[in-house]
Structure 1
Amino acid sequence: MKSILNGLLLIFLSAHSSSAQAVDKEQEIFDLSKTKWEWMANKEVDQLTDLFHEKAVFVHMGGSWGTEQELNIIKSGGIWYKKADIHEASVNFIGNTAILLNRITLIAEVGGREVTNPFMVTEVYVEVDRAWKLGSLSFTKLLGGE
């Protein structure tokens, strides 16, 4: 009887530990995404260079391109991501990949003109050598406002 209780306790503690780790991992992705928006707003290209995977893809309303072009656009101010108001966020994990969905209102300056758009943003992070790297950032404009 004692061994059965010990076994059940071990299963419970293991499940609780796994659940806590999943919550921690989820929060890590949420925090990383929030920090990324701050780095983009502040044009912190050095920080973003470390975060963006060299083979990452970026999909915007005006086209799609790779990491080098995205960093150049941020650095030059071609797109200035001034502020991302995050209304909802969710994350799903598939192996070493995290897929984050953000419903945001983005205030940006594009070509010297300030614009505000509601987007669903998909961020894909891949764990590489125990660090998260952004593999994809895609903007989908939402119809009918926020």
Structure 2
Amino acid sequence: MRTFLLSIAIIFSVFQVSMAQSKTESEVLQLSKDKWQWMADKNVDKLADLFDAKAKFVHMSGTWKSPEELEIIKSGSIWYKEAKVHDTAIEISGKTAIVWNRITLVAHVRGNDVSTEFTVTEVYQKQKKNWKMLALTFSSVRDTHQIKK
């Protein structure tokens, strides 16, 4: 009987951890999705709350930190009109979450509308009660690229 109760306790503990992780994954994935909409809407206030002050952003044309990314979005020098998300994967390790999105990005860049296939890597860290983005990297890929889960 004691072995049975111990087994039930272990199963319940594993179930709780797995459910908590699923809740965390859902929370971060929703935040990632919201971020794309905030970028399209040029909502720099919401993005400033999300981006860590030292976050790095890697684009095809350069790398910069949060203040520059926010200014680029605010000014419209890159207008992230729409990110069509085709595939997503997430890994959680402690207070760090990494999200990979395979997207088609429709953007207005240097006076031209462009559509580009990317895999975007986003790194988040739980700081106090909120998730903060530490890094966002755009990697140009073919439209047949798949994210391994």
Report if TM-score (shorter chain) is over 0.5. yes
Gaps of 5+ in 2: none
8 Å CA contact 1:118–1:145 kept in 2: the answer is no
1:35-69: CA deviation from partner (whole Å, max 9, x where unpaired)? 00000000000000000000000000000000000
Q: Distance in 1 between matches of 2:40 and 2:111?
A: 15
Structure 1: distance between partners of 2:142 and 2:87: 16
Equivalences for 1:24-35 in 2 at 5 Å?
Answer: 24-35=23-34
In structure 1, what is the Cα distance between the partners aligned to 2:114 and 2:38? 19
Superposition CA RMSD, Å:
1.2
Structure 1: distance between partners of 2:24 and 2:136: 19
How many Å separate the matches in 2 of 1:75 and 1:118? 23
User: Unaligned 5+ residue runs, structure 1?
Assistant: none
Paired AA for residue 96 in structure 2:
T
> TM-score scaled to structure 1, two decimals?
0.95
Distance in 2 of aligned mates of 1:45 and 1:64 = 19
Distance (Å, rounded) in 2 between the aligned partners of 1:26 and 1:95: 12
Runs of 4+ in 1 over 4 A off after TM superposition: none
Is the CA contact 1:120–1:139 (under 8 Å) kept in the aligned structure 2? yes
* TM-score, length basis structure 2: 0.93
Deviations 1:6-58, CA, capped at 9 Å, x for gaps:
21111111111111111111111110000000000000000000000000000
Give 2:122's aligned amino acid. E
Find the aligned partners of 1:104 and 1:46 in 2 and give their Cα distance.
24
The whole-number CA distance in structure 2 between the counterparts of 1:20 and 1:50 is 27
